[in-house]
Amino acid sequence: MEKVPEKVTLGLLQHSCRPEVAANLDYCLKAVENAAQDGAQIICTQELFASQY
């Protein structure tokens, strides 16, 4: 049985959404990559991260 880690590092992302979906996805992808490089094991984005309401 695999040992459960004692510590998990979270990355939480929140940003202002632009009208352009592609720009939001690009920004979010870069933020996810940065969070992973900084050690985040689980990364959560905000609700509706790709578009405005």
Identify the band that residue 49 occupies on the pLDDT scale cut at 50, 70 and 90.
Answer: confident
- DSSP letters of 4-33? PPS---EEE---PPPS-HHHHHHHHHHHHH
Mean pLDDT of 24-41: 97
Mean pLDDT of 3-8: 85
Instruction: State yes or no: pLDDT of 5 exceeds 80.
Output: no
* pLDDT recorded at residue 9: 96
Instruction: State yes or no: pLDDT of 43 exceeds 90.
Output: yes
**pTM across the whole model:** 0.80
More confident residue, 52 or 43: 43
